[in-house]
Every structure is written in C-alpha cells, then in structure tokens.
Structure 1
Amino acid sequence: MSIELQQIGVVRSAFVEKFGIPRQPSLAPAARGQILLSPPYDSAEAVAGLELVSHVWLLFVFHQASSGPQHTRVRPPRLGGNQRIGVFASRATHRPNPLGQSVVRLEQVGPGCLTVSGIDLLDGTPILDIKPYVPYADAIADASNQLAPSPPALLMVTWHNEALANAHQATLRLGEPVVELIEQCLAQDPKP
C-alpha cells in the first residue's frame, strides 16, 4: 500500500543544522519558531478556534534523516549512544517512515503563521498536520517509560563576559530570548 501525504506548512526556527537541537520538545522553552502555512491552509478560516488552545501537536517529516538501509535497532543518545534498542522503543529520526510528532506551546495565531515555543525542529521541517493538545485525553497520569524514567541531568552553563554581552545584544536586536535559548540548549548536553 502506498500513502501520499500533503505538506501543509514549513517550520522556521533558529536551528539550521541538526547539531544542538533539543532532543525532545519543551526541553528548551525559549526555542521559538514559526509554522508558515501553505495554501489553502494559510487563511484565517483554517486556524479559526486555534487561539483557544495553549498547545498543539505538530506532525512532521524528518526531512534530513538519511535514507540509507532501514534498521530495526537504533542507538539513542539518551542511552549514551552505545546501547541498541528496537526502533519503535525510541524516538530516533531513522525510522521506517520518517515521521515525528512534537507538542509545542502555541504563542500566537495568525492567518498563515503560527508562533510556537518549546520546539525541537530544524528550520525547513515540513509540517504534515497540526492538532490541538487535549489535556484530559493526552496527559496520561500513570504513564511510564523505564528507558527514560526522568528528565536527563542538566549541565551547568558558564558564560565568558564577552559572549554573554554579545548574547544580550542579540536578544535586544532580535527580540528573542537568546541567552535563555543558548543556556537551555547547552544544558541538555547536545553532543552527538
């Protein structure tokens, strides 16, 4: 069976390469981006009512995942990159179908453009669908995951004075929380 999916938009984010992207959504709340919607979904009609929700699910394509041979086992960074587990027990980008999903905070809704935060997506990521997060159905109180039972330990980020001054200047120039974004991403230990 063959299934054809239509791209409904694209992500614009500060992450222009895979290195340094938060490994999960919401780990870096300062990571902001925009979802630019494609016609006919770039109308006020398509996003009507979305202003009533705080978070949305983004369904997307891992467009820069290599298309090499398919593997049934992967080495997730969370396990140190040395231990292999089944592909379906991980959120690895190398999957049978390069599909991903992220829950992000919806900051602003406009025709043709959604501003979101807490993103973990590469600039240019194709968006396949957007769905409202429904707390009573999506939050599972007794859920567990023994592979990732708790958040990863955070690293302490220390700034050189000149680097911090430059980051503050970038914050003022861009109107984005650059200092917080850098600290949140580096604290996650982004090395491959």
Structure 2
Amino acid sequence: MEIEPIARVETCYPEKFGVPRQPGLVKQAWGRIIFEESYRAENFIRGIEGFSHLWIVFHFHLASQRKGKETVRPPRLGGNERVGVFASRAPFRPNNLGLSVVELVEVDYASLDGPVLKIRGADLVSGTPVMDIKPYVPFCDSVPSAIGGFVDGEPVRMEVAWCSSCIVPEMSRTVIEQTLALDPRPAYHVDLEREYGCEIDGYAVRWRVEQGVVKIFACEPSQ
C-alpha cells in the first residue's frame, strides 16, 4: 500500500512542544491547509463550504518510529500508567496516522497557493502532511451518549498570568493563553522550578508553573 500527502498544514505551532493534545481545545488556534500541486484544482473541494467542520487525516511526521510498541503512557494518566496503543490517541502508532476535527473558517481562492482552507481549533504542528480530508457530518459523527474512558471530560485549565513587560496583540495573546492553560508540560516532569520555552503564533514564550498558575515572564517576537 502506498499513500502520499495531498496537502500540508501551516499553523500557529512551529514546534511540537506546546501543541494542544486534542483538537478544538484552543478555539483560536489557526491553520491553513495548503494543497500539493496535484490537488489544487477547485473541483477537489467543490461543495466543501457547506460544511462547518472537517476531519483531517494526517501523518505524525515528527514522531519517532516505534514499530511494534504495544503500550503507551497517556498524559491524562500522569505519564506513568500504560494502556494499549489502540486504546490511546498517542502519536507513536504502527502507521503514525492521526485524526483531527477542525472548524472550516473559509476557503481562500485568491491565495497564490490556492485554494487554501483556513481552519481553527488546530492541534497540528506546522508542516504536518495531510493524507485525506473528509467533511464532518453531525448526524452520524456526533455521538452524545459516547463514553470517553480514561479521557472522559475536558482537561482542567490552569490560570495564566502575564509579566507586565509582555506586549502582545490580542489575537496572539488569546492563542498563547489558551494553549498554556492546558499545561503542555510532560506529565512526568516534577521539577516545580523548571522554566519552559516554546514558540506560539510567532512569539517565543518563556514560562513556569508556580502554585498551579502558569506565569509568563518573557514573550518576544520569534526571530
């Protein structure tokens, strides 16, 4: 079996650290799906604007290969308890394929890379290869009575406090706050004085967690 990317994604997350662990948790996390040249004919997406959300089938291209690995350690279980890889949504999978549902904001037909799909609620690192796109159909894709196992319910969000010297536009500030509130630290980290850094929406952000509060002490435009 051979498959190839049909598109790639540009998002506000240029690196793995900091990317939300599930789609839709950071509502303003933007992205652009740019099709490969072979798939840029408008006929490929005819009718797509009738849908508010899309399923994105993608490749975890930055995940190290762990073929044959039977179990993983989900962050929701503290990073110590193991579950079967097929009972998780971890990136370390036999074929490294992922599935995310995102909001379709608009189709940019004027782009030089066009048509380009503008999306929100992304949980994808910039550069992620897209293997397929399917419309989200509410009557059959939404199951209100579904049980979420060990990930039932949304994650707890932390308070975020900014240093007074951090001057950031409102939109980027919102994306950064919503992202760090989800506590992207590895679940096994116990060093409470450790400082973290990641790049989000064009800003290099430095932060630490103190008494359950994410404290941003530096936020400068990325070089």
- Structures share fold, TM-score greater than 0.5: yes
User: Residue 180 of structure 2 aligns to which amino acid in structure 1?
Assistant: L
Deviation track 1:24-80 (CA, whole Å, cap 9, x = no partner) reads 000001100100001232122211111111000000000011014531010011111
**Range moving further from structure 2, 110-119 or 150-159:** 110-119
1:130 aligned to 2:128? Answer: no
2:117 & 2:9 partners in 1: Cα distance? 10
Query: 1 or 2, which has the higher helix percentage?
Result: 1
User: Residue 141 of structure 2 aligns to which amino acid in structure 1?
Assistant: D
**Deviation above 6 Å: which 4+ runs of structure 1?**
none
What's the Cα RMSD here? 1.1
Matches within 5 A, 1:56-135: 56-110=54-108, 111-135=114-138
**Range moving further from structure 2, 40-49 or 129-138:** 40-49
User: Residue 14 of structure 2 aligns to which amino acid in structure 1?
Assistant: V
Partner of 1:155: 158
Identity of aligned residues (%): 44
1:179 aligned to 2:173? Answer: yes
The total of aligned residue pairs comes to 181
1:140 & 1:26 partners in 2: Cα distance? 17
Partner of 1:174: none
1:139 & 1:68 partners in 2: Cα distance? 32
2:132 & 2:151 partners in 1: Cα distance? 27
Alpha carbons 1:47, 1:109 under 8 Å: kept: no
Matches within 5 A, 1:1-40: 3-40=1-38
1:52 aligned to 2:50? Answer: yes
Partner-residue secondary structure (3-state), 1:136: helix
Alpha carbons 2:66, 2:94 under 8 Å: kept: no
User: Residue 97 of structure 1 aligns to which amino acid in structure 2?
Assistant: N
User: Residue 19 of structure 1 aligns to which amino acid in structure 2?
Assistant: F
How far 1:112 moved relative to its partner? 2.7
- For structure 1, the residue ranges without an aligned partner over 5 or more in a row are 172-176
User: Residue 67 of structure 1 aligns to which amino acid in structure 2?
Assistant: Q
Partner-residue secondary structure (3-state), 1:162: coil
2:34 & 2:8 partners in 1: Cα distance? 5
Pick 1 or 2: higher relative contact order, CA cutoff 8 A, min separation 6: 1
TM-score, normalised to structure 1, is: 0.91
- For structure 2, the residue ranges without an aligned partner over 5 or more in a row are 109-113, 187-223
The alpha-carbon distance between structure 1 residues 148 and 70, as it changes in their structure 2 partners (threshold 3 A), is: same
